[in-house]
Amino acid sequence: MPTSKSNSLAPSEYLHDLIKSARPFLRENLESVDKSLPKLLSILRSASAGECWHRLGTFHDHLYHVYRILKLWKAPDSVCLFGLLHSVYSNSYHDLAIFDPVKDREIVRNHVGDVAERLIPLQQEACEQKGDLGVCWFEGTDLVRRVRRVSRSLFPFV
């Protein structure tokens, strides 16, 4: 993946670094991205994510594409893993729960770690559908309230 020094590279060097980061995805050499990624994608398929339609493809495709974008953006691994499973417990505008948010949390946590798993229900809680928009939408004090609640849940020791 590109390093934090990528921003200081000349445009041609940055492009080379970006292509190098994308190459494992383009070649489907996913183990070189993350050794657990092929297994996680297999788990998503076996949980029916490939059988559910979501926007322009399957739910599995959507989850994988979110992971890939986050990885190419150099997000921390726990955030990338969160992106891979960000709405597997369902959310307010897609009823695609492929894991039970009560019974399966420990199973999910064992696959992606505590930080990534704790973000999944918080994303569901923080996002609400506004009309026909399939996006998270916040205004003023509501945003502040939600960020504080999520922060307390993630970092109760602070």
Tens digits of residue pLDDT in 67-86? 999 999 989 999 999 999 98
**Hey, where are the domains in the chain?**
1-33, 35-154
Which of the residue ranges 3-7, 55-59, 148-152 would you say has the lowest mean pLDDT? 3-7
* 4 secondary structure, DSSP code: G
Report the C-alpha gap between 38 and 86 in whole angstroms: 17
End-to-end Cα distance, the chain: 32
Distances (CA, A) of 149 to 37, 41, 122, 126: 31, 31, 9, 9
Residue 143: predicted pLDDT: 61
Residues, the chain: 158
**Proportion of the chain in helix, strand, coil states, percent, rounded to 5:** 60, 5, 35
**Greatest Cα-to-Cα distance within the chain, rounded to the nearest angstrom:** 50
pLDDT above 70 (res 94) = no
Contact 99, 107 (CB under 8 A): yes
Q: Cβ of 12: how many Cβ atoms within 10 Å?
A: 8
Mean pLDDT of 22-51: 93
The stretch 137-157 carries a mean pLDDT of 63
Mean pLDDT of 103-122: 90
Distance CA(48)–CA(123), nearest Å, equals: 21
Of the pLDDT bands very low, low, confident and very high (cuts 50, 70, 90), residue 135 is low
CA atoms within 13 A on the CB side of 131: 3
Q: Name the token pair of 94.
A: 């897609």
**Could you read off the pLDDT of 39-61 as tens digits, one per residue?**
999 999 999 888 888 778 899 99
DSSP state of 57: E
What the block records as the tokens of 31 is 């183990």
Residue 158 has pLDDT above 50, yes or no: no
What is the mean pLDDT of the segment spanning 137-149? Answer: 65
pTM: 0.76
Q: Output the pLDDT for position 61.
A: 94
Residues 67, 34 contacting (CB under 8 angstroms): no
Average pLDDT over the chain, rounded to an integer: 81
